Each structure stands twice: as structure tokens, then as C-alpha cells.
A = this chain, B = another copy of it.
């Protein structure tokens, strides 16, 4: 492959001039410009990003670290990040931390060695020294890092209240709240929202924890409902667990939504696909990814470490696992 000095030679100018032309920095005469353009065409030249990175200690790479691409929430998020990055001329490196702290650290390290321009992190860790250690622009997505790292999340509390309110308005009187892992701050916020909605009303509540996993949730709910057949509403903190609950209810012969209503959280495509389709508190996943990416790029290009965080409103998708509202 041709390099910059081949181009310079062929165009009868210096590499410096070619570089200036490439980066639109500094003056380049008309004749030189034409000659360079011609040479580039002929040689089919494209600059080496690697050499450029070495020189500038910068790159157009954005690292995206997520816990698990197989959880349907994340592909949609990844797609949004990728689209946005592409729009601004960046390329995404996707890393699966696998819900594993060491793997997360490993990737953080690897990415920094590659001079990535910035990192979007959906971390497992609650609090740490990400920022100090690597001093690379960062944005926390979905799961806040309680440092000075800007964060983009859904308004979890509001969403949870929204969903629970609707469930109650639709007639649920004995509700099972299927939370997420208690280590996640989003779980705490969603629980707050749930409790807020319950408060002062005559609702029997059961609160149990479940991973955001279809199979596991199914098992947990299956057993729990057997012991508590009076439950007529389930509010789950993810679509995956809501769908697990749905499956469990089917197995128990419960009629949905007549005997048991279910509301999920996330708004993934899976919720549309199941039968009956899932009523859910939808996060604006695309916007989440887009906002995070834009905030990151702003940091990268503006060299500003912003300290704003962004909280995006969720929206209720009313579908078939709840009864028509009847106050």
C-alpha cells in the first residue's frame, strides 16, 4: 500500500504539504492541491490510521463496554451507539464484559492502549476509579458510575411509578414486584418508584428478586405464584423477566390479562413478539444510546469534561397483558 511519501513524490511536493492537504490544516497552493489529488487517485492511497494515531495520540475509535450482547436490551443500545458514532465519523469497538469485573478491567486497559478517543461504559461496578486511572473521556450508560462521570439513564423511578400506577388502575390488587439484581442502582430506583405508587393504596404486595433472565424468572415466578394464587398483577423490572413470568403463568393455566396482569420494563422488541404482547414501561433505547454517544463526542472534541447527566423519560406501551383501564 502506498504511503504519504509516495504521494509526495508523485505530486512533486513534500510530505508536509500532503499532510496539510489531508488535514486541511495550513496552506496548500492550487497547483499542489491538484497534483496531490491526482497522485492520491492514481496510487489509491488512504492514510494509515495507525500512524496517525501514534502521532496525535488520538483516534476515531470509541469503546463500548456492555455486560451482555445477548440480553435484547443491549443490541438495540449498541445499534444506536454505532449509528451515532458512524454519523460523526467514529468507529465502535464493542466489548462484552460478561457481567465480570475483571473482564471489564481488561477491556478498559486494552482500549486505553489503543488510544481510543473515548469509552461508553455500562458498568457492573458501582463506584471506582475508572476516570482517574485511565483519564480518557467517558460516559456511563444505563448504569451510573457515582463519580464525576457524566451519565445517561432512563428516569427509572418515574418509569416504575408509571407502570405500577397503570397496573393498579387496571384493577390489580395483589401485586408481585419482580425486581432486578439489588446491586444495580437502577433496581433501587425502580423499587422506589414502585413503593411510591403503592403508597396509601389498598394493595397487597410481594417483592422478590430475580435476575434479568428469561429462564430464571420463569422458574421463580412459577414457584411463587403456586404458593400465592391470589396474586393478580406482576410488575417486572425487565422485559426478559416479565416474559418469564408470562410463560410461568401460562404453564399454571392463568388467563392473561383476565386473571393475571403483567407489566414489564424496557420496551424491547421481544415484548411485541410474545402472545399476548407485553404491556411495558419502554425506555427510549435509541435515544439513550444516541445521547450517550453525543455527550462522549462532545467531550472528545470539545476537550471539556462535562459534568451533566441526562435522564430520559420512559413511556408506557399499553399492550395485551393488561386489561383496558377501568379505574
Interface residues of A (CB under 8 A from B): 46-51, 53-54, 59, 68-70, 72, 74-76, 78-79, 82-83, 86, 91-96, 103, 107, 109-110, 112-115, 214, 243, 246-247, 250, 269-270, 272-275
Contacts and interface: CB of A to CB of B under 8 A. Distances in A.
Contact of A273 (B49, B51, B93, B274): B274
A273 B79 contact: no
A272 B79 contact: no
Nearest to A135: B1
Contact of A270 (B68, B78, B270): B270
B50 A54 contact: yes
Contacts of A47: 113
A277 B54 CA distance: 53
A46 B109 CA distance: 9
Q: Tell me the interface secondary structure of chain A in the complex.
A: helix
A50 B114 CA distance: 6
A112 B110 CA distance: 20
Of residues A50, A72, A247, which shows the largest number of chain B Cβ atoms within 10 Å of its Cβ?
A50
B49 A114 contact: yes
A50 B273 contact: no
Nearest to A247: B275
Contacts of A69: 69, 75, 78-79, 82
A95 to B, nearest CB: 7
Contacts of A49: 110, 113-114
B113 A48 contact: yes
A49 B75 CA distance: 28
Contacts of A247: 273, 275
Given A75-B69, A79-B70, A79-B96, A269 B114 contact: no
Nearest to A273: B243
A263 to B, nearest CB: 17
A115 B46 CA distance: 12
Contacts of A76: 70
A92 B94 contact: yes
A54 B115 CA distance: 13
Contact of A91 (B75, B110, B246, B274): B110
B94 A94 contact: yes
A228 B23 CA distance: 63
A307 to B, nearest CB: 24
Nearest to A106: B86
Closest 10 CB pairs of A and B: A94-B94, A49-B113, A69-B75, A50-B53, A75-B75, A50-B54, A49-B114, A93-B93, A54-B54, A69-B79
B48 A51 contact: no
Contacts of A274: 273-275
24 contacts: A48-B54, A50-B59, A50-B113, A50-B115, A68-B79, A69-B82, A70-B75, A70-B76, A72-B72, A72-B75, A74-B75, A75-B75, A82-B95, A82-B96, A91-B95, A91-B107, A91-B114, A214-B272, A243-B273, A270-B273, A273-B273, A273-B274, A274-B274, A275-B275
Contacts of A269: 70, 214
Contacts of A53: 50
